[in-house]
Structure 1
Amino acid sequence: MDYTEVIRPADLALLEANWTEQLKVKGTNGEMDLTPVVKIFSPIGSATILVTEKDPDSGLSFGIVDLGFGSPEMGYLDLEEVLSVKLPGGLRMEQDLYWKADKTLSQYASEARRLQHLRA
């Protein structure tokens, strides 16, 4: 499944703008602690992903991933790969269209490490 069919165009544009801005300061003390733009979830399980930025030339993205095993991790993921996963009953991972972030990514990560799951 093409991630552009799942993620709203305005959200993709913001993810790509965040990538471009973050790239300017990557690896320096000026790296930004961005607020997640997109929440992706499994409609039949506890898998949850919050994404802050996406490479304009690919599905490579950055965020926090919780697959429901008690060890959420922050890092890079491929939206194309995540959104191509086929779940039972023909379901797929999907964007939560009604979710709005209320913390920065590092705040979500800190809370997730403490709770051993992502609460978003």
Structure 2
Amino acid sequence: MILLTSELRERLLVNGRNSDADHIPVVKFFNPLGEGVWLATELDEDGDTLFGLADLGEPELGSFSLAEMIAVRLPLGLGIERDILFEGLFPISAWAETARRIGGIREAERVLHAIHRSTTSGQSGKP
């Protein structure tokens, strides 16, 4: 799987030019066989250095390498994957706070999406 499409790469680069903002994550990467989830909000002009929230057991904001993620080789011929259905919905600060509070990005995703559903269902007239 291609980890970054040209559209995702461009969105990350645009965010990278304004690194002081609290961006909504553009892309989610994950280890399909275990621990490891990354939410990327920005890409440096070098085309390799991503910024976002990484969770390898404890959620932490920081930089990580796209090339290193591509190079990971897991059992069964697998590698790091991109979640093609991911929706950021909230700024990275909300992701980081929720992930730290409840134990990780995967758990935070369930909570934040439930919050989003509850706030949008009232607006759409759905129960």
| TM-score with structure 1 setting the length | 0.83
**1:50 pairs with 30, 39, 42, which one?**
39
**1:39 pairs with 28, 51, 61, which one?**
28
Distance 1:34 1:74 in 2: 13
Distance 1:56 1:13 in 2: 10
User: Once the two structures are superposed, what CA deviation does each residue of 1:42-97 show, in whole Å capped at 9, x if it has no partner?
Assistant: 11113110000001223011000011x2x111101111112211111110001111
Unaligned stretches of 5+ in structure 2?
110-127
Distance 2:18 2:55 in 1: 26
Are positions 1:88 and 2:75 aligned together?
A: yes
Distance 1:35 1:10 in 2: 15
The one of the two structures with greater contact order (alpha-carbon pairs below 8 A, sep at least 6) is 1
Larger Rg: 2
Q: Secondary structure at the match of 2:17?
A: helix
TM-aligned CA deviation for residue 21 of structure 1: 2.2
User: Identity over aligned residues, as a percent?
Assistant: 34
| Higher normalized helix content (fraction of residues) | 2
Distance 2:66 2:18 in 1: 20
Q: What is the match of residue 25 of structure 1? A: none
User: Runs of 4 or more off by more than 2 Å in structure 1?
Assistant: none
Q: What is the match of residue 118 of structure 2? A: none
Distance 2:34 2:80 in 1: 10
Letter in 1 for 2:16: W
Q: What is the match of residue 17 of structure 2? A: 20
Unaligned stretches of 5+ in structure 1?
23-30
Cα RMSD of the aligned pairs, angstroms, is: 1.5
Q: What is the match of residue 10 of structure 1? A: 7
TM-aligned CA deviation for residue 100 of structure 1: 0.8
TM-aligned CA deviation for residue 115 of structure 1: 1.0
Aligned residues: 107
